[in-house]
Amino acid sequence: MAVQVDTKVEAIRAQLPAVQSTVYLNTGTNGPLPRSVHQAMSELALEEFETGRINMAGWMKKAELKPKARALLASAFRVQPSEIALTQLTTEGMNVLIHGIDWQRGDEAIITNLEHPGGQLPLYVVARRAGVQLRLADLGIGDGDVAGKIERLITRRTRAVVLSHLAWNTGALLPLKEIVDVCRRHGVLVLVDAAQSAGSVDLDLHDLDPDGYAMPGQKWLCGPEGTGSLYIREDRLGWFQQTYVNYGSVLYGSTDDVGGFFTPNAGAARFDRIATYFPLIAGQIAAMEWLVNDVGLPWAYDRISRLGKLCHDTLTNIDGVTVITPRDRMAGLVSFNVAGITPDALVTALSDRGITTRTIPHPACVRVSTGFYNTEEEIERLGAAIEEIMRDHANAGS
């Protein structure tokens, strides 16, 4: 059995050149690109170069790409294709959601202390432009009674909560279903930054039932940079207005140019990206097909989680290492610090040893991402490298 798993992991790694040149522990920034993704993108790019971007045959072919990507994403997250918008990154989804609300001066929004700029900044913009009052929910590292902490900040003026499903900094997987239940009772929208959960956590979006769920394509889903998706349940599409639009955002032929009337496109496609370099969509499709057909999403989720726990345990067992991530609420992100060594110095020292991780600014720490293509041996190497760095550091200081 162990041999079978190793064989499978080896076969997967053979499709990912990027994981062969380094111990690749930063999928949380960008995942490695599978061979089939690079190939699909290269083929379409070559075709556009050689035959041009103005011929009917090319357009007919490219017209099939977005529906196909939408269907694959919808299936992976157990929703309808009409509930998936194709975006360019998580941050775009958050912008669509946050700017999609017709805020009134004096409205309130809750944001947590664990958010990424992708969720923070669009909210800060509407705070300034629309006079929205922000309430900061201090969730600590994301453990404890998260839903309760949020609920205590809800007032009659609260319109939305902006939060991550899986915190990019502490690695905590927040109890989203419970949070949604609380917010729904108060009529508060839940707008989710899913940058770290999409592709690393088994998702049933109808069951979790957030009002908006903004996902990336280039991290755990191993797609191109410049791809992502956004889930909005079909019967809640009308709760969000369109902001940035192009000709594809509206129903064909629906505009009245005298008065500026128009009808939005059907389904979540009304919130689609307004710019498309088509090889990106070909790559997004290839990534989803590879994950579903060759890797297997359930297997990937399970392996990410098991390697994450292994990493957590490995680091916890090293004297002088403090792991921040709550072990009972995590997936594939592990954040930690080493006594006496700054995160910058540690990331550099690990990089010198062929191990790629990253620093996090708040809380200042080092973050490891365990991808389904990582190996148990790589986690061991990480632990050994940290011990070595600590020894070197102690010797240098003595």
Per CB under 8 A, contacts with a second copy among 311-370 are 351, 356, 358
**275 near a second copy, judged by CB under 8 A:** yes
Binding of a second copy at residue 118 (CB under 8 A)? yes
3-class SS string, 53-75: CCCHHHHHHHHCHHHHHHHHHHH
**Residue 329 tokens, joined:** 């609420």
**160 vs 208, beta carbon nearer a second copy:** 160
CB of 79 to a second copy, least distance (A): 23
By beta-carbon proximity to a second copy, the closer residue of 110 and 300 is 110
Question: Of the two residues 72 and 89, which places its CB atom closer to a second copy in the complex?
Answer: 89
Q: What is the CA radius of gyration of the chain?
A: 22
Q: Which is nearer to a second copy, 71 or 274 (CB)?
A: 274
Comparison of 218 and 314: residue with beta carbon closer to a second copy: 218
Does residue number 119 form part of the binding site for a second copy (CB under 8 A)?
no
Question: What tokens were used for 261?
Answer: 């009337």
Residue 256: CB atoms within 10 A of its CB come to 9
Query: Which of 264/320 has CB closer to a second copy?
Result: 264
Separation CA 125–CA 134 (nearest Å): 11
Between residues 101 and 180, which has the closer beta carbon with respect to a second copy?
A: 101
Q: Which stretch binds a second copy (CB under 8 A): 3-11, 177-185, 200-208, 268-276?
A: 268-276
Decide if residue 374 touches a second copy (CB under 8 A): no
Residues 6+ apart with CB under 8 A from 238: none
Which of 60, 128, 238, 396 lies at the binding interface for a second copy (CB under 8 A)? 128
Rounded least distance, CB 114 to a second copy, Å: 10
Region 176-215 residues binding a second copy, contact defined as CB under 8 A: none
Burial of residue 395, with CB atoms counted within 10 A of its CB: 0-12 exposed, 13-18 middle, 19 or more buried: exposed
Told to check if 32 binds a second copy by CB under 8 A, we report: yes
125: contact with a second copy by CB under 8 A: yes
User: Per-residue DSSP letters for 85-129?
Assistant: EEESSHHHHHHHHHHTS---TT-EEEEETT--HHHHHHHHHHHHH
Tell me the closest approach of the beta carbon of residue 142 to a second copy, in angstroms: 15
Interface characters, 143-182, with a second copy (x: CB under 8 A): ----------------------------------------
Q: Which stretch binds a second copy (CB under 8 A): 28-36, 204-212, 316-324, 370-378?
A: 28-36
Distance CA 297, CA 279 (A): 23
375 binds a second copy (CB under 8 A): no
Q: Is 21 left (phi over 0), alpha (psi -120 to 50) or beta?
A: alpha
Question: In the bound complex, what is the minimum distance in angstroms from residue 50's beta carbon to a second copy?
Answer: 5
Query: Which one of residues 141, 205, 280, 355 is an interface residue with a second copy (CB under 8 A)?
Result: 280
Note whether 42 binds a second copy by CB under 8 A. Answer: yes
Residues in the chain: 398
Q: Do the Cβ atoms of 194 and 213 come closer than 8 Å?
A: yes
DSSP secondary structure letters along 279-308: HHHHHHHHHHHIIIIII-HHHHHHHHHHHH
Q: Which amino acid is at 71?
A: A
